[in-house]
Amino acid sequence: MAKSDKDLQQLIESRVLRMNAGVLAIVAGLLAGAALFVLTIILVVKGGPNPGAHLILLSNFMPGYAVTFWGAVIGSIEAMVYAWVVVYAGARLYNWVADQRHGRG
């Protein structure tokens, strides 16, 4: 393999191995927030004497969350933030490890 081919292969490998942490975190945050909102609204519409007995346990980690419409709004915002932080940190860690393995760290 010629030197330019090897350089091209190394460039492709380094770009494929890296994650765009910001975009990945935004998508994960939006998905987590939307999922919590939809699940909570389903339980609100379903109603009953004790809707969301298990889902209400999230209020231990998400202040302001409740199985109500406004609780769904608050909880979805908190879920977006939590998911964004966790996924962003994980993607940055992944990129750091990938850089270390390819000698760029």
Residues 9-31 have pLDDT tens digits of 777 766 667 788 999 999 999 99
Top pLDDT among 81 and 1 is at 81
Residues in Cβ contact with 68 at an 8 Å cutoff, skipping those fewer than 6 apart: 40, 44
Chain centre to alpha carbon of residue 5: 36
Give the tens place of pLDDT for each residue, 29-52. Answer: 999 999 999 999 999 998 878 888
The least confident of 1-5, 10-14, 19-23, 86-90 is 1-5
- For residue 41, what are its two tokens? 């609204």
Structure tokens at 15: 């770009």
pTM, to two decimals: 0.79
